[in-house]
Amino acid sequence: MRGLLFLFFSFVLAAQGLRAEAVRVSERWGFDPADATKAVQSALDSGARTVIIDRQGSDWIVRSLFITNSNVEVVLEDGVTVRAKRGKFHGKTDCLFKIDGNVKNVTLRGEGKASLVMNKGDYLDARRYSVSEWRHAVSILHAKTVVIRNLSIRSSGGDGVYVNGAENVLLEDLACIDHNRQGSSPISVKGMVVRRCVFNDTYGAPPQSGIDLEPNRESNCFVDVVYEDCEFKGNAYQGIEFHLGQFTARTHPMSVAFRRCVSCGNRSSGISILSGDAEKIPSAGVVRGKISFEDCLVVGNGREPLKVMNQVTNGLELAFTRCRFDATGSSAESAILFSNTVAADLGAVTFKDCSVKIDRGMKPCLFESPDGIGISGRFEGMLSVEQSGEKSEFDLGVFASEHAPQPEKVVRFKSVAVDFRALPTEIGTKGLFTPAVRKAFTYVMVAPTAGEYRVVFRSRKINPAKGGDSQLCAVCQLRDRAGTDLGKFDIPVGEFSFAVKASGPNVYRFEIAQRNSGVISVASKDAEGAILANRPIALFHGSDVRLRLKVPAGAKEVLVSFKPDEPASAQLIDAAGRVVSEVPFRKAAQVLRAPCRNAVDEFWTLRFPKIEEDMTFQVGGDALPLASPASLANVREEE
């Protein structure tokens, strides 16, 4: 027994000795200048505590690498570049380094000048690669105590650094430049410090921001997250973006802080905060906690330095201290935009010792909301304003009082119930395609007599990387006027037609559920058809989009809910061709509202002069919530 114990402890000590040693990759596994993957991966799997990727006469060319051992430090020597091998990384989630498997105590760092480089331009070539936004340079998944330090990280097919399900992460002295989706995308993390990092020049796949804190589900979290002395510059969208639409009141309270950071030269806003999803907030509430900015500079961006959306009084707290917001030279109307698309008052925002700089004609702050929705609760502070060389003070308390809630003006929006059994044959137009619809919707077709009626679908995918069958764009459930299940069929990418054989007069409902980020337009040359608009309909891009609305005799009011995710404009035009309600081109939720006293049935027009990207509309009041195309809609083909 003693002999066996001696052998056992000898084995453990020997293993610990191996585990403790530092290994130089080329000395033990060699260096292949054409493909060094085997050598580097062998070193990562060896159990050594320190893996040194040593300097050679050329770059270390590799395929995907995986760090799946705990307690390991990977060091790139001064002058070393680990470069993604051209012609590889065809998998949609292939990353240069993936830290996964619930590992702990992992460090990936450079000495001197060291780089991780991918080949973004190759991955954007749809002839050679399937489109994807997840070919990250560094992916940290479900790991604890991870350090990424002193590296230049460039040109990935996704994010520079992706973080999901991790704890205790340190990102320090990183240059995340020229990535496809984001410089970095935190999805869920507990305990993260990001220090002296730059997240610049992102462009390719939306959102294209320097960083985007965007959860995938309400169970994700951002707890004890700190950014210090970081730069967000030259990105195709926002510099700093929070897109918290998945969070609800059930989510763990947030705690995120930015200190001494600079957001500049971004094409849209310097800082953009979406606190919650307008459709979820009424039932699920908003996340609580705090986001703070201290001693930050936001300057030289294309739009507002600061944009705050769906920030409600009983949720997340936003605090800004000693920050400077410079909107000069931008195309924005104001330095700070507050915009609620949800029917809830805005609040829980404070400013202390902050300043704004604006051009003549600009406003320090602008508030946009549906009628009757205002600012209440805690909303306070003074802003030092410099406008065309003149200085003044802007009192946010006074601004809030000027936008006090007016509950009596809040529109109680409701759509008319559609009786498909009694639906008249004349509901709109035929032969014209609907505008492009991005989310689930129902297309209604009226067959006036027996016969065959053909419906044509034009479908495309705005993000082919969204998994599943690459040729499947939607699944359609077909029903008749009684709601009878007439079966399902798939709608492929491209143009596809489907024939319905009617034994007599009937109403057919095509309940379309998109798959794989599908966008769909529908038309029938044989019968009148319309979009059922008794719930929000998501349109995607367009100019001079026109839809016909039937206003029955005796109607008293026509309502249209209008909620753009990006700027859009809208007009409600009565039967005489007069614009009776209008929303200018901007990102602001409104209800178009007009009284009517028609003695006979009329057709009004709902016009969207320009839709930059995403928007929803819903028909309410006394109008029949069926919107039929009244023009070719000039749907834009660009993504």
pLDDT in tens, 215-254: 999 999 999 999 999 999 999 999 999 999 999 999 999 9
- Identify the DSSP state of 375: B
The pLDDT tens digits of the residues spanning 50-74 come to 999 999 999 999 999 999 999 999 9
Using a pLDDT cut of 70, give the percent of the chain over it.
94
Which pLDDT score, from 0 to 100, does residue 290 have? 98
Q: What percent of the chain has pLDDT above 90?
A: 79
Parallel, antiparallel or unpaired: strands 579-586 and 494-502: unpaired
All residues at 6 or more sequence positions from 618 whose CB lies less than 8 Å from its CB, including other chains: 413, 415, 533, 534, 535, 536, 537, 560, 561, 625
Averaged pLDDT score across all residues of the chain: 91
Is the pLDDT at 463 greater than 90, yes or no? no
Residue 187 Cα distances to 18, 139, 213, 597, angstroms: 36, 11, 6, 52
pLDDT on residue 13: 34
- pLDDT over threshold 50, residue 93: yes
C-alpha to C-alpha distance for 465 and 428, rounded to whole angstroms: 36
Residue type, 423: L
What is the maximal distance between C-alpha atoms in the chain?
A: 105
Q: Three-class SS string for 93-149?
A: CCCCEEECCCCEEEEEEECCCCEEECCHHHHCCCCCCCCCCCECCEEEECCEEEEEE
Average pLDDT of the segment spanning 463-487: 78
The token pair at 593 is: 């509202």
Q: Tell me what pLDDT residue 513 has.
A: 92
In this predicted model, which residue has the larger pLDDT, 342 or 109?
A: 109
Report the distance separating Cα 445 and Cα 23, nearest Å. Answer: 70
Q: What is the structure's pLDDT at 638?
A: 33
Distance CA 155, CA 176 (A): 8
Q: Which helix (H) or strand (E) holds 396?
A: helix 396-402
Model confidence at 465: pLDDT above 50? no
Residue 189: its H or E element: strand 182-195
The residues, any chain, with a CB within 8 Å of residue 8's CB and separated by 6 or more, are none
Q: In this predicted structure, what is the pLDDT of residue 410?
A: 78
**Window from 192-196, 347-351, 356-360, 601-605 with minimum mean pLDDT:** 601-605
Please state the three-class secondary structure of 400-427 as a single string: HHHCCCCHHHCCCCCCCCCCHHHCCCCC
Confidence of residue 302 (pLDDT cuts 50, 70, 90): very high
Is 598:518 a contact under the CB 8 Å cutoff? no
Residue 443 to residue 523: CA distance in whole angstroms: 9
Which two tokens mark 519? 């966008």
Higher pLDDT, 632 or 196: 196
Q: What is the pLDDT of residue 637?
A: 33
Taken in order 544, 549, 555, 560, the sign of the CA dihedral is negative
Instruction: Give the span between the Cα atoms of 280 and 250, in whole angstroms.
Output: 12
Q: What is the pLDDT of residue 356?
A: 98
How far apart, in whole angstroms, are the C-alpha atoms of residue 522 and residue 128? 31
pLDDT, residue 413, reads: 80
Chain center to CA of 326:
25
Radius of gyration of the chain (CA): 28
pLDDT digits (tens, 9 = 90+) for 8-27: 333 333 333 334 489 999 99
| Residue 139 in this model has a pLDDT that exceeds 50 | yes
Distance CA(546)–CA(559), nearest Å, equals: 16
- Helix, strand, coil shares of the chain, percent, nearest 5, are 10, 50, 40
Give yes or no for residue 425 having a pLDDT over 90. Answer: no
Q: Answer whether residue 467 shows pLDDT above 70.
A: no
Sign of the CA dihedral with 479 first, then 485, 487, and 489 last: positive
- What's the confidence (pLDDT) of residue 470? 62
pTM of the predicted model, to two decimals? 0.78
pLDDT in tens, 490-523: 999 999 999 999 999 999 999 999 887 789 999 9
125: CB partners within 8 A, 6+ apart: none
